[in-house]
Structure 1
C-alpha cells in the first residue's frame, strides 16, 4: 500500500460482517438497534449501519450530535447526562429540527432541564439513566429518587421518554454464562424501573439498554424497545478477550512501517507508538495481554504470538508475547516492511486520527473523515 504511516485502516468487509451480525441478532429478538457512533465518529460508518437497518443513532458528545445532524441524521440520543451549561446547544439543535433526546440521573439535572424548557418554550424528551450493574452512573431502579426525577420531568418543559441503562461491567467478563446472566440483569432491572414509573402514572414508552457484550449475549429482550451498542462495528482485542468476537473480526487496524531492529533483544521497531495506538492497555487485566496491540501482516492476517510489547510516543516495539528474544524477526521484517496492528480499544485508537482509510475487498483505500472534539 502506498500510504504514509501510521494510518488507521478500516477493513470494509469485516465491518460489514460485524454490522450484519448485530443487526440480524437484535432483529430476531424484536428490538431496534440504535448504534452508538462514538466508536467511529464517522458519517460513512454510521450510514452503513443505517442502511443495514439501524434506527437512529446514539451520541456521546454534542459535537457528534451537531456533526451528524449536519450530515443528515436527525434522530439521536445523547447518552451522557446533560450538564446544565450545555443545554443551550441542545436547544439550538432541537430548534433546527433535530429530534434529540437528553439523559439525566438526578433531581438536580432534571430541574435544570425543566427550567430551560420552560424558559425557551420547548418540551425536552428526556430519558432517566438506570444503574443496572454499579458500573458508573445512573439511579438505582428501586430508589425513591427515580420517581422524584420522573415527577420533576412532568412539571412542564420536559417529558419522560423512557429509561436507559448501560451494563459496562460486561467488559470485565469472559464466559458466555456470565455474559448472559448480566444481559438478563441489565434487561430486568431497566424494565423494572420503567414499571415503577408507569405504576405512579408516569408514561415511560422507551426502555433502552446496551453494551456490545450484553447485546450479543442477550437471549431474551422482553420489555426492551431498543439496544445501543457501539464497538461491535469494529470490535477490538478487549472484545476478543471478552469472547464476543475473535481477532479475525476486528475491522480497525493501524498500518505501520518497520524502522529499525534490536536483534539481540528480538525487537522490531515500528513507527506506531502510543500516539498511534493510544495509551489504552485494556487487555492487561484480561486472559491475554496484547501489550499495545496484536501484530498482523500487511493483509491483516494475525501473526501468532507477536504483539506491540512496548511503546513510546512515536516508536513501537514488536516482539514475542512470551518475552523470548527471537532474532529471526529481523530478517522476517526488514526495514521498510509494512505491518498492521489490531487495537486494544477501537474507540481510543480511532481517536488518534482525523480520518480513516477504508480498504475495500479490491484493495482500494478511500479516506473517511472522523470527528474530533466535544
Structure 2
C-alpha cells in the first residue's frame, strides 16, 4: 500500500514510524542502563503493530493496559504477561478470569482492603486465582494507598490471606510529574517515586509478606530517572509518540512527536485572521492541557504538510468538526494566503493518547510516503 497525503481523507491520523522507533530505542537504552525491566503501557497506541516495533527494539517482558478490552486484544495477538493498571472491580473479575483460564498471566491492582475482600469473593466464584498488586499514592495525584501508612500492611495481609488472591507486589504512577514546570523538579519527582515505592516494598517484606514486583511508571519520571535501585519494572506509555504536553514539560522535543492529524483548509474568515479546517475537537480531542504550561498550544500546533512546524500558528479554537487556525496571540495578523483553500496541513496534538483515541487506526508514514494502515483497538 502506497498512498500520498492527497489520497487520504481528512481528518486522518498520521504516524511517523521513524520518529516512533527513535523514541522506543531511546527509552529502551535508558531503562536498560538503569537496570529494571521495561513493561510499556500500551494505552497510548492500542495497536499490535506498534507493539511489534516496541518489542523488536526493546525486548520488553510484558505490557501494561488500561482496559480489559486492551488486555483481550493484545492477548489474542500473542501477549501473555499483562498488567491491568486501573483499580479492579468485582464486576470485571469474570472477564479477567476468562483470560486467565485461557493462559493469560493477567495481574490486577487495588488500593484498599474493602475492594480486596470483594475481589476475593468474586475470584472464588469464578474459580480463579487472581494476582494482585497494591497501588501506591506517591504524590497525591490520584488513587493509591499511602506507602507509609499502617493500612498498607493490613491491605497486603488481606490480599495474602485471601483464598483466591495472590500478592504480587506494589506499583505506582507518579502522575504528579505532569504538574511540574522544570526538569529539575521532574528529576526530584522521579526519585520520590522510586524511594517511596521501594520503601513500601521493604515494609511488606519486613512484615513477612511477598513483594516480588516493585513497579513504577510515568513517562516524565521514566525519562528523567537517574536511579532505579530496588525497582523491578518501569511502565511508561506516551513515550512511543510523545506530544505537545511532554514537550512543554521538557522531556521531549517537537521533532520527537510521532503522531499528527492531517486536515484540509475549507474556508477563511479574513477579518478575523482565521483559517477554517475540517478537523475539530472530534479529530484532536478536547484536551487543552498545555493551557496551564508556559506555552499554550491551543488544540494543537500547526505544521506544514511536510511536517515543518509553523511556530506562530495554532488551532486556537475548535467546534465538533471545525478547527480554527489562528496566530498564537489571537490577533487577526495571520496571513491567510499562506493557507489556501484545499491545502493540507498537519496538527501536532496536546495529548497523543486522547487524539489517537478518536481514530480506528494510523496511516503510517515512512520516508515521506504513507505505506500502510495500522488498526488500533478501542472500548472497555
Change (3 A) 1:276 1:22: same
**Structure 2 Cα separation of the partners of residues 17 and 120 of structure 1:** 43
- State whether structure 2 residue 225 is matched by structure 1 residue 223: no
Matches within 5 A, 1:107-256: 107-155=113-161, 156-256=163-263
2:302 to 289, 295, 298: 295
**Structure 2 Cα separation of the partners of residues 348 and 11 of structure 1:** 17
- State whether structure 2 residue 61 is matched by structure 1 residue 41: no
TM-score by length of 1: 0.98
Alpha-carbon contact 2:89-2:119 (below 8 Å) kept: no
1:282 to 285, 289, 296: 289
How far has the Cα of 1:362 moved from its partner? 4.7
Other structure's SS at 1:208 match: strand
**Structure 1 Cα separation of the partners of residues 118 and 39 of structure 2:** 26
1:7 to 9, 12, 27: 12
Q: Which runs of 5+ in 2 are unaligned?
A: none
The residue that corresponds to 2:84 in the other structure is 78
Q: How many residues align?
A: 373
The residue that corresponds to 1:17 in the other structure is 22
Other structure's SS at 1:79 match: strand
**Structure 2 Cα separation of the partners of residues 121 and 373 of structure 1:** 26
Q: Which runs of 5+ in 1 are unaligned?
A: none
How far has the Cα of 1:327 moved from its partner? 4.9
Alpha-carbon contact 1:283-1:291 (below 8 Å) kept: yes
How far has the Cα of 1:120 moved from its partner? 3.8
| Post-superposition CA distance 1:157-183 (Å, at most 9, x none) | 121111000000111113121001000
Change (3 A) 1:126 1:261: same
The residue that corresponds to 1:89 in the other structure is 95
Other structure's SS at 2:326 match: strand
**Structure 2 Cα separation of the partners of residues 132 and 167 of structure 1:** 6
Root-mean-square deviation (CA), in Å? 1.0
Alpha-carbon contact 1:59-1:77 (below 8 Å) kept: yes
**Structure 2 Cα separation of the partners of residues 81 and 264 of structure 1:** 51
